[in-house]
Amino acid sequence: MRLVPIVLCAGCLEFGDLVDIERLPNEEETSITTPDDTDETPIVEPVTWDVVIKDLAFEPEEITISAGDSVRWLMEDGGTFHFVTEGDPNAEPVFESPRLDIGDDYTHVFENQGVYVYHCANHSLVMRGATVTVE
């Protein structure tokens, strides 16, 4: 066995320590681990989904999105105004738009999973039961 003095790094060994060079790792024993790109979770950017308000209806009436996505309601119904109001018409809404006249829009970000049923507070008898499902 051949012993030689070697300094590997500050604090690892002191000058003059003897190291068995036959026991130093060789290329076959040493490997560098790098992160595998396929194991990383991809970053998904939030998406804005459009719902058109026209002819006393929401189109589409049902939409499924991911948590963090937004829905933008675009008012294209002339001759009247609308609201986008979540929940039972007799309960406190999770979200509610201001009055929407033709050309207006309203956007809401959905942070939490669930099913959100919404209606128009001005036309709740005919414009109700639309849903946003957040997965």
Of residues 65, 56, 78, the one with CA closest to residue 107: 65
DSSP assigned state of 125? T
CB atoms within 10 A of CB 100: 22
More confident residue, 104 or 23: 104
Residue 18 confidence (pLDDT) above 50:
yes
How far apart (Å, rounded) are the C-alpha atoms in residues 52 and 69? 17
How far apart (Å, rounded) are the C-alpha atoms in residues 98 and 81? 10
pTM equals 0.68
CATH 3.30.70.20 fits 48-134, yes or no: no
Amino acid identity of residue 66, one-letter, is S
Residue 29 confidence (pLDDT) above 70:
no
Where are the chain's structural domains? 48-134
